[in-house]
Amino acid sequence: MPRRGTLHRMCRNIHVLHNFEPATTDDEVYAAALQYVRKVSGSTKPSKANTDAFERAVAEIAHATRHLLDALVTSAPPKHRDEEATKARARAARRYEAQRLGEAQLAAEAQHAALR
């Protein structure tokens, strides 16, 4: 059973599509659906036996996503792709820097422990 309140952790490759100016394109909706099906199936390229099911799932999810986006309403001003991309790059830089510092700290601790 899905838990409520867990939407804050999404796959980093699937991006928010709602409330953009210009509006989200069908290609962006398809790309998100494809990423979702790849993630769920665990396969970036299905076998011949699974190709029809894979492609059908992508089409159905893209269709449902387009309906969802068309039905959503908001009073927030539309987001701009360039600004959102800049924010995403800044978040990634912070994440990678924290990872690098964490790895350096672990290496220093391991070296210190080896000297004891």
Is there a contact between 10 and 35 (Cβ–Cβ < 8 Å)?
no
- pLDDT exceeds cutoff 50 at 115: yes
Q: Is the pLDDT of residue 14 over 50?
A: yes
pLDDT band at 1 (very low <50, low <70, confident <90, very high): low
| pLDDT tens digits, 61-100 | 999 999 999 999 999 999 998 898 899 899 888 888 888 8
Question: Which residue has better confidence, 5 or 39?
Answer: 39
What pTM value is reported for the model? Answer: 0.69
d(CA 43, CA 106) in angstroms, rounded, equals 33
What is the DSSP code (8-state) at residue 79? B
pLDDT at 3 > cutoff 70: no
Percent of the chain beyond pLDDT 90? 54
